[in-house]
Amino acid sequence: MSAIIPSQARMSAFLVKMRAIMEQTQAKRIVPVNRIILGITGGIAAYKAAELLRLLMKQGMEVQVAMTEAASHFITPTTMQGLSGKPVLTSQWDDAGNGMAHINSSRAADAIIIAPATADFIAKLAHGLADDLLSALCLARHCPLLVAPAMNREMWQNAATQRNIAQLLADGVRVLGPACGVQACGEEGMGRMLEAEQLAQDIAAFFQPKLFSGKQILITAGPTYEAIDAVRGITNRSSGKMGYAVAQAALEQGAEVTLVSGPTALAKPQGAQVVDVTSAAQMFEAVKQRAADCDIFIGVAAVADYRIAQPGTQKIKKSTETLTLELVPNPDILAYVAALPNPPFCVGFAAESENLAKYAEQKRCVKNVPLLVGNLAQQAIGSDDNELVLFDDSGNRVLPRADKLTLARLLMQHIAQLYEGADQ
């Protein structure tokens, strides 16, 4: 009998494992899933819809594709069904339910995205026409509608199209793009549909809670560069990705963002006021000029702790002798802001290579900030994803490994909770 009864230790391990599985399952259930109808109309940019679908699903969205008859001449329903795992809606008469696909599908959606939206389909939307399934879905919707225009530059500039776009905006429709660039016809100008990556980011941003409306947030990002001579310097391997992700998340959640950035190769977050700096001293000066006017300060930048006491104005020539450099401390930007007479809500970052919990909590106490975000440098620097640990008065909380924008969105939600509590 004893041979078939698990030991107490094995049973305890089994229960712990089952409890973890149940907790993970419950956590997944409480995370809201955005249900999207992705409408595709008959334009050459329809090929981008396949990548857009993939990116939306990658973000955890549930996507139902609906296509016009013209769209199927550019990309097949079979392709979109294979990518989405769901039958593609193409005709009002194909509905297996009560024959009201335009009602059933729109009621279940959190948003309808039309990408690409041709000039013809935009005209339908502006005038309330519903002569096919997709236009009927839009007319019968109870959810937001977003459109990504795609057409020849002359069609975009046509007075009729501009009137129709103005009407959509007046009706509360969100218009994403278009962009300026080379078009399929060989001409160049406005009318090109935004790339799938940008659209996916804009759609995800649309669903973010606007927790910081009217708030001024000052963020530092990237490395600093401390000159040794005319061609050499001291810096670090920070890419700036985390800081730029935090800026993007803050913008998505309604903040007015000023980003003080060290040297990076990243595209500037659209909508942010960006101040480019090189050295720690320049970053410090930029922050000093703006700190008093912000509600929240987030110091993400990997600021060099030291600089050269006397940097050379010319290149130091190589020799066989040992070169000695005198280093002096750089100003502590986070500590300065936190010590202001009426400081903003301050958030610091700590990149450590070991003993993260110990060093991060020490830094939080020394700098006297309500929240410090810790990560391991060897896992974070230059990477597209990361794992964060949040240290505040209530203890610490782990944000599991994910892409940096996802982490930034979760971080901003945590900051909003702390800020609201501190403001009361």
Percent of the chain with pLDDT over 90: 66
pLDDT digits (tens, 9 = 90+) for 270-295: 899 999 999 999 999 999 999 999 99
Instruction: Measure Cα distances from 384 to 47, 53, 379 in Å.
Output: 26, 21, 10
Indicate whether 6 pLDDT > 70: no
The predicted pLDDT at position 22 comes to: 37
The predicted pLDDT at position 106 comes to: 67
Instruction: Measure Cα distances from 180 to 188, 192, 316 in Å.
Output: 7, 6, 46
pLDDT digits (tens, 9 = 90+) for 370-390: 999 998 877 777 778 889 999
Sign of CA dihedral 60, 61, 64, 69: negative
pLDDT digits (tens, 9 = 90+) for 234-256: 998 889 999 999 999 999 999 99
386-410 mean pLDDT: 91
pLDDT digits (tens, 9 = 90+) for 333-369: 999 999 999 999 999 998 887 888 888 888 898 999 9
Q: Work out the pLDDT band at 36, boundaries 50, 70, 90.
A: very high
Residues recognised as catalytic: 185
Kindly give the pairing relationship between strand 371-376 and strand 385-392.
antiparallel
What six digits make up the tokens of 18?
A: 């089952």
What six digits make up the tokens of 348?
A: 């610091």
Between residues 23 and 97, the one the model is more confident about: 97
21-43 mean pLDDT: 64
pTM comes to 0.79
Q: Give the class (CATH, top level) of 32-206.
A: alpha beta
From-to residues of CATH 3.40.50.1950 in the chain = 32-206
Kindly give the pairing relationship between strand 306-308 and strand 296-299.
unpaired
Mean pLDDT over each residue of the chain, to the nearest integer: 87
Q: Which of 25-39, 130-144, 356-370 shows the lowest mean pLDDT across its residues?
A: 25-39
Q: Work out the pLDDT band at 4, boundaries 50, 70, 90.
A: very low
Which residue is associated with the tokens 């024959």?
99
Do you know the residue count of the chain?
A: 424
Please tell me the distance from the alpha carbon of residue 20 to that of residue 26, in angstroms, as a whole number: 10
From-to residues of CATH 3.40.50.10300 in the chain = 216-311+321-423
Which CATH architecture describes the domain 216-311+321-423? 3-Layer(aba) Sandwich (3.40)
